[in-house]
Structure 1
Amino acid sequence: MADKTYTTYEIAKFCDVYPSSVIHWIDAGKLKAYVTPGGHHRVMREDLIRFLQHCGIAVPKELGADERRKVFIVDDDVELARLIDRAFRKQPQAFQTEVFHTGVEALIRIGHAVPDLVILDIVLPKMDGCQVCKILKTRPQTREVKIIGISGKRFPMAEKELARYRVDAFYRKPLDLEELLAKSAELLRVELKPAAEPSREA
């Protein structure tokens, strides 16, 4: 199922549009696709599901969709990354997470699996958060990914750079994990279950 691909005609049926509309989405970079040796477009199941969710279109049961939103946590502070990850994992019906400690690691993974949201530390080794943000927001395949920037230090220039690339939110450390979860749920249009215990600052 994970490797299933769909034609523009099949996608048009799912979305109740003409195949030409699907081709337009692909040409505009809104829907990720590849071209077969015969010159036909094909869309991977995961990319189709993400596109439908982003557009607010109900995902057909035939796609066998995992409706959880994919969240990548990128922070070189191992303990903080663990705390953020644990907070998101308390909402297993809404989120699935992966943790990375450098921007390079995250981008390599994103090349294979595009997330719905990236929690991105601004100060990272090898490649800082602003560089990661620039790459994500200037590539057609990832420009719709939501980004929440976080930082324990004040970097006015970095914050201006993030604003330039329309980062969806920015929080200073220590983080209010409850607020971070709520904002993530708002951006990704998912509902959170009532918390079993008070959240902690991180």
Structure 2
Amino acid sequence: MSNTVLVVEDEPNIVLSLQFIMRQSGYTVRVASDGEQALKAVEEYVPDLVLLDIMLPKRDGFAVCEEIRNNPACKNVKIIMLSAKSREADRDKAMKLGADRFVTKPFSTRELADTAKQLLKVELS
């Protein structure tokens, strides 16, 4: 059975790109376009990996990350935070809230796919 990736992004072109990359890597992909949808999607079906943008409508990625980390059912979920901001403070905040990785946009699709693969491989071992 393939791993499930939840893409949480409000920019349609980036969603398409992330869906394509993750499907090409063999993952089942689900999409949420705001923070509230993301939390509902996690409640319905806990993903293996969340690709989580910081700047989202309704609830930002930091709040979503924190909520996922506070949910005992999600203890094995891997989170890659995505941001157009490259400030060290944003990276530090994301990591303190429990993100496994922080990737700055624009990102290399190959590197993102490799990062996802590494995180999910660790989980399977």
TM-score (norm 1): 0.57
Q: Secondary structure at the match of 1:141?
A: helix
Name the % identity.
32
> Who is 1:68 aligned against?
2
> Who is 1:77 aligned against?
11
Distance 1:69 1:76 in 2: 22
Q: 2:4 is matched by which residue type in structure 1? A: K
Distance 1:155 1:130 in 2: 14
* Structure 1 residue 166: Cα displacement: 2.9
User: Is 1:86 matched up with 2:24?
Assistant: no
| Aligned equivalent of 2:102, options 153, 170, 173 | 170
CA RMSD of aligned residues (A): 1.5
Q: 2:15 is matched by which residue type in structure 1? A: A
Name the larger-Rg structure: 1
Distance 1:183 1:97 in 2: 16
> Higher relative contact order at CA 8 Å, sep ≥6: structure 1 or structure 2?
2
Distance 2:94 2:61 in 1: 9
> Who is 2:66 aligned against?
134
Task: Give the 4+ runs in structure 1 shifted more than 6 A.
Answer: none
Distance 1:162 1:153 in 2: 12
Consecutive unaligned residues in structure 1, runs of 5 or more: 1-66, 191-202
The number of residue pairs the alignment matches comes to 122
Consecutive unaligned residues in structure 2, runs of 5 or more: none
Whichever structure has more helix as a proportion of its residues is 2
Contact 2:65 2:98 in 1 (8 A): no
> Who is 1:103 aligned against?
35
> Who is 2:44 aligned against?
112
